[in-house]
Amino acid sequence: MKKVLFVMNPKSGKATIKNALFEILDLFTKNNFITTVYATQKSKDAIEIIEKVGEEYELIVCSGGDGTLDEVVTGILNAKLNTPIGYIPAGSTNDFAKSLGIPSRKMEAAKLIVHGKEFQCDIGVFNQSYFVYIAAFGIFTDVSYSTPQSTKNLIGHMAYLLEGVKSLSLLQSYHLIVEHDEEVIEDDFIFGMITNSISVGGFKSFRGQKVQFDDGLFEVLLIRMPKNPLELQSILGALILNDINKDYMCFFKTSELTIHSEQEVSWTLDGEFGGLHKTVLIQNKQKEITILRNMDLHT
Ligand SMILES: Nc1ncnc2c1ncn2[C@@H]1O[C@H](COP(=O)(O)OP(=O)(O)OP(=O)(O)O)[C@@H](O)[C@H]1O
């Protein structure tokens, strides 16, 4: 029998996990899993339970949205485990699952946990925290990291906010010094995201860019402060077309970067509030976690 810890957030998304739970547990038992179910009760609960008892299990199954997956990964890394993770997406957008080819239908995802292959996946370290697929700051984060709907449709929401900007003086920008590899970029930016994902906010990002989850590299996109309404329109157009406009956007891949600012910048990590920071060091830990995924799907 395989000892399995099943950490589930009963509140994720529309709480649909409860309809599938019996069938999932039955499938697990039929496949020789002996499963302990832990329903999270509050924020950070998944981290704590894994730190406490995670080492007793051979597999940790996570059901929830991106926030719960982030906590499960954090718990595993804090406890210095390398236990494989099975993921049953139950959030509203499930960006990361989409990127990895993990089905959104819960029973299909559960079957993948039984039959899927182990995949070593990169993870982000953000100062002292971890993130699974996105660290971001900017236009939307200050106002809306606490209103779930907005962070879940990040790019669309950003385009919507930008569209509503009547005067450029109302647009919040951050003067940043960004250092990566041998390059230093100093400018005013309205938004930035450091990702390890194809899908962000339910939106397929980086058209034409090959995104890999085990290459040790992040995709970094920074949007400059527009200098006039025409530039703002060009940025909007690029966002809507899912394009990288080099005149107003910086795009690069890197394994490590630092971002300095004179003022505190509000960050979001995997869609949850990531704190206010003046300096952040973001590092890619290559192949740091093991996740069960469908290897036939080339994303
Ligand atoms: N019982 C609970 N009640 C309230 N919040 C919880 C509970 N259990 C866990 N949480 C917190 O809820 C946060 C958000 O959960 P999660 O990301 O799983 O769902 P979601 O926000 O509905 O999904 P998505 O991010 O895909 O939209 C988690 O980061 C976790 O800290």
Whether ligand 1 lies within 6 angstroms of the CB of 202 is answered as no
Are 143 and 277 found together in one domain?
yes
**Better-scored residue on pLDDT, 165 or 60:** 60
**Does some domain include residue 12?**
yes
Q: Is the CB of 197 under 6 A from ligand 1?
A: no
Q: Is 12 in the pocket of ligand 1 (CB under 6 A)?
A: yes
CB-ligand 1 contact for 94 (6 Å cutoff): yes
| % of the chain at pLDDT higher than 70 | 85
Residue 151 confidence (pLDDT) = 46
Domain boundary among 69, 88, 115: 115
Distance 127 CA to ligand 1 centre (A): 22
Q: Which of 226, 223, 225, 230 is nearest to 246 (CA)?
A: 223
Task: Identify the residue whose C-alpha is closest to ligand 1 atom 18.
Answer: 65
pLDDT score, position 18: 86
More confident residue, 202 or 56: 56
Domain membership of residue 297 (yes or no) is no
Render 149-215 in DSSP notation, one character per residue: HHHHTHHHHHHHHHHT-S-GGGS--EEEEEEETTEEEEEEEEEEEEES-SEETTEE-STT----SSS
Higher pLDDT, 291 or 233: 291
* Reported pTM: 0.87
**Separation CA 297–CA 299 (nearest Å):** 6
What tokens does 251 get?
């795009």
CATH number (domain holding residue 192):
2.60.200.40
Domain count, the chain: 2
List alpha helices for 36-88, DSSP H.
45-53, 66-78
The answer to whether residues 114 and 292 touch, using CB atoms and an 8 Å cutoff, is no
13 lines ligand 1 (CB under 6 A): yes
The reply to whether 122 falls in a domain is no
Of 115, 138, 171, at which residue does a domain stop? 115
Tokens of 37: 């179910």
Residue with tokens 């099943």: 6
In which element (H, E) is residue 291 found? strand 272-293
Q: Under 8 Å CB-to-CB from 41, ≥6 apart: which residues?
A: none
Are residues 90 and 186 both part of a single domain? no
Give the mean pLDDT of the chain. 87
Same domain, 256 and 151: yes
pLDDT given at position 83:
97
pLDDT band at 144 (very low <50, low <70, confident <90, very high): very low
**Are 94 and 148 members of one domain?**
no
Q: Do 241 and 99 belong to one domain?
A: no
Pocket lining: 65 vs ligand 1, CB cutoff 6 Å? yes
89 lines ligand 1 (CB under 6 A): no
91 lines ligand 1 (CB under 6 A): yes
Cα 97 to averaged position of ligand 1 atoms, centre (Å): 15
| 252 Cα to the center of ligand 1, angstroms | 31
199-204 mean pLDDT: 56
Q: Which residue owns the Cα nearest ligand 1 atom 15? A: 67
Same domain as 211, residue 166: yes
Q: Is the pLDDT of residue 245 over 50?
A: yes
Residue 242 · residue 205 · CB < 8 Å: yes
User: Does residue 165 sit in the same domain as residue 101?
Assistant: no
* Residue numbers of the domain that contains 223: 130-286
Contact, 130 vs 74, CB < 8 A? yes
Q: Is 93 in the pocket of ligand 1 (CB under 6 A)?
A: yes
ipTM of model:
0.95
Residue 296 lies in a domain: no
Q: What is the CATH number of the domain that holds 7?
A: 3.40.50.10330
> What is the per-residue pLDDT for 146?
41
Q: CA-CA distance, 203 to 68, in Å (whole number)?
A: 20
Average pLDDT value for residue range 212-217: 90
Whether 135 and 272 share a structural domain: yes
